Structures are given as structure tokens and as C-alpha cells.
Structure 1
Amino acid sequence: MSKKFRPGVILQVPIDNNTHTYARILTDRNIAFYDYRTAEEITNLKDIISAKILFIICVNETFKNSWEVKGDLELEPSLRRNPLMFICAPYTEDYKIYDNGEIRRNATKEECMGLERVVAWSPERVEGRLLDHYNGHENEWVEAYKIK
């Protein structure tokens, strides 16, 4: 991972033409997105990281060309371990728990309910997810990736 994009780096993520929020790199691809919609430039990074985290997901590497680096703060201990996620092969019920970058074990469908699916989100889909969240709409990709 480039030193510019190391864990702890804070990114500005556009939501629409007038507002943005902030995100933080946790690992080379896992990023936490903060509930901090604003039209203002925020310079106090501690204000940003004190906001609630909306979600943590895996984002493909093209984010490096899409989102502006705003600063860098060492990760708090609580963010050094990623939340559990799940993997399921398409058209199967072969569920697995993904824990901190590794497939750990087989799992039941019920164990995976409510966890994020391991998917490499594109920056555009993340921005759409954020916009839908702030507009109170379901996001088509969140729904597509959910266990049914």
C-alpha cells in the first residue's frame, strides 16, 4: 500500500454536487464511512473521527483516484480490527465468515444475516449508497448484496 493511502488516512468523499462526508482507511481496502455530511471544509480531523461510523466496507483501488486525502490520524484500537463480514459463492448457500482479512470458518445463513458481504465496492456505488442513506432511500446494491 502506498504510504499516502495507509491505515488512518482520512478521505473526503463526495455525496452530491454540494456536500461530502469523510471516510478513513482501515486496511488496504477496508474503509470506514462517517456520518458527517457537510458542505464545509472540515480541518479538525478529530471532529470527523468522533462522528458515528455508518458502515465499513471493502472498496476497490480506484478510490485512490476519486477521493481526496485530507489528513492522517493513528487508528484507535477499536478500529484496528475490522468487523466480521461474510462471503457466499453465487447461487449457493456456502456461507463463510470473513474476519480481519481472512476466511475463518464455515457459517450458517443466520450467522451471516446483518453482516456486510465481502464485495469490492466502486467509489461511484459507495457515493450512491451515501446519497441514498442521506435521502432516506434503500440502496439497490445494499439490497442486492443482502442475504434473502
Structure 2
Amino acid sequence: MRHPTAPRTGTQPAIDPRLPLPRKPRSRSKTIVPQTASRRAERRAQSARASASGVFLVVDSLRRASVRELEVHDQPPASRKVVKARANRAPGRVVRIDLGDGRCAYGRQLTGVIVEFYDRVGGAGEAVNLLELVVSPVAFRVWVVDSAFRRGNWELLDVVTLDEDEATRIHYFAKQDIRGRISVHWSNPVSGGSGERAASFEECRDLEIAAVWSREHVEDRLRDHFDGRPNKWVESLRLKP
């Protein structure tokens, strides 16, 4: 059953003259749609500009951070400074070592009787920036006798204070007794304690041997190191499997 007002198939709907003519619906396709598309395009453009600006800021920030990081790595730690000290063997004391052939080497007192020697050759009496010197590659670290720091032996330069890592670092050295038993010797500069524990040959292969070096033996080793030849004292102390 059809609705009473529904038109019949194939005929036009009847119009009651007493009723107002229906208004023709407004077409919004020509007014609203173009404006909406325009707004969307503007929003996309703004978003693209903001995104590009954001990417630029992020890239610029990363670039600046990278530059700062490189600058920090190229500079000595801010915690180190050059100071004077009365004690010949004050922690951080830098020494210049005359190798007797127009060359000199440098070392620095760490904690206890441990001294590090740098893989750097200099000339006798040269001017040297100590803060730059102490970030040089290290050739080796060994125990050294006190007499090497007496005046008339190694030249005593100023002190470059130890940073936190250097002042608290636990050092490990290898030992081997007459029976061939191998152990690791450790020393803690914070607690002042030290000790040994059994270890394997593989574990100690790359460790420095626990031995106190004289001034002359250190100088021999430095000359051999810079000349690229084996050192007889190092070979005599080498661990035996």
C-alpha cells in the first residue's frame, strides 16, 4: 500500500495551490566545498611548514650537541688543574725523563707507587702544556721506586690533579710465584686495602707484572718502547703458562 502522498509511477506529483511552493534547495557544492578544500590546503601547508621548521630545529640541536660533545672530548676534564705541591711524589706529579739521546719522556704519579708513562716523545727542556700532556695515550703503568722522584733524577714538573676516576681507580697486576702459581694483585686507593686472588694465565695475559721498577729500568724500557724493540726486563718478567 502506497503512502497517500507518494506520486504514481510515470506521473508528476500533484501540487496543491494553497500550499507555498517548496524552496529550491541551495547548492553548497560551489560555496562550501571550495572553501573547505582551501582551508584544508592551507592547514596542510601550515603543517608542512611547522614540520619542516621542527625538523630543522631538531637537526640543528643535534648538530650543536655533536659539536659540543666533540669540543668536550678534545679538552682535558674540567676537574683537572695544574697546581704546585711540596711533596716530590704528590699525586698527579708530572716528571720529565731525559733519555740521554736528545729525547725525553713524561710520566705522572697516580696513587700509591703507581706511575703512568705516556706514549709521547719530546725534546729536552721543551715547553709543554701539562693539561694536554696527561690526556696523551699511555705506554704503560708500573710500580716505581721513591728514589726516582728525588731531585737530581727525574725532572719534577708541576702537579696535574687527579680526576675522580684516577683517584679512585682500582689497579690490577699479575704475579707468579716460584712454583708457577698465578694470581692477581689489586689495590684500592679509597679504602687503602689490597690483596691477591688466584687467577688463570689467560686472565692475566695482558696485565702488567707486579714488580717495582728502578729509574734506570724504566728509562731502558721507554727507549725500547719508542724504538720499537722488545725490552729485556719486560721479557724476563713475562708470565709462563
Q: TM-score, normalised to structure 1's length?
A: 0.89
Higher relative contact order (CA 8 A, sep 6+): 1
Give the conservation status (yes or no) of the 8 Å contact 1:19–1:37. yes
The separation in 1 between residues aligned to 2:220 and 2:104, in whole angstroms, is 12
Please name the residue that 1:132 is paired with. Answer: 224
Please name the residue that 2:105 is paired with. Answer: 21
Amino acid at match of 2:163: E
Greater helix share, structure number: 2
- Identical counterparts, % of pairs: 27
Larger displacement relative to structure 2 (125-134 or 7-16): 7-16
Amino acid at match of 2:135: S
3-state SS, counterpart of residue 3 of structure 1: coil
* Equivalenced residues, count: 146
The separation in 2 between residues aligned to 1:147 and 1:9, in whole angstroms, is 31
Q: CA deviation at 1:60?
A: 1.3
Amino acid at match of 1:46: L
The separation in 2 between residues aligned to 1:50 and 1:108, in whole angstroms, is 32
Greater strand share, structure number: 1
| Superimposed CA distance per residue, residues 122-148 of structure 1 (whole angstroms, 9 cap, x where no aligned partner) | 110100000001111100011111113
Give the conservation status (yes or no) of the 8 Å contact 1:132–1:138. yes
| Superimposed CA distance per residue, residues 89-140 of structure 1 (whole angstroms, 9 cap, x where no aligned partner) | 2x22222211126223111222111111111111101000000011111000
Equivalence map 1:68-83=2 (5 Å) = 68-80=155-167, 81-83=169-171
Equivalence map 1:1-148=2 (5 Å) = 3-39=87-123, 41-65=126-150, 66-80=153-167, 81-89=169-177, 91-100=178-187, 102-148=194-240
Greater Rg by CA: 2
- Pair 1:132–1:82, CA change in 2 (3 A): farther
Q: CA deviation at 1:25?
A: 0.3
- Pair 1:127–1:4, CA change in 2 (3 A): same
- Pair 1:87–1:24, CA change in 2 (3 A): same
Larger displacement relative to structure 2 (69-78 or 93-102): 93-102
Q: CA deviation at 1:82?
A: 4.5
The separation in 1 between residues aligned to 2:156 and 2:141, in whole angstroms, is 18
Give the conservation status (yes or no) of the 8 Å contact 1:86–1:116. yes
Q: CA deviation at 1:15?
A: 2.1
| Superimposed CA distance per residue, residues 44-93 of structure 1 (whole angstroms, 9 cap, x where no aligned partner) | 1112112101110001122123211111011123323153111222x222
Which structure 1 residue ranges, 4+ long, deviate > 2 Å from structure 2?
76-80
3-state SS, counterpart of residue 92 of structure 1: coil
3-state SS, counterpart of residue 197 of structure 2: strand
Q: CA deviation at 1:16?
A: 2.7
Give the conservation status (yes or no) of the 8 Å contact 2:88–2:149. no
Q: TM-score, normalised to structure 2's length?
A: 0.57
C-alpha root-mean-square deviation of aligned residues, in Å? 1.7
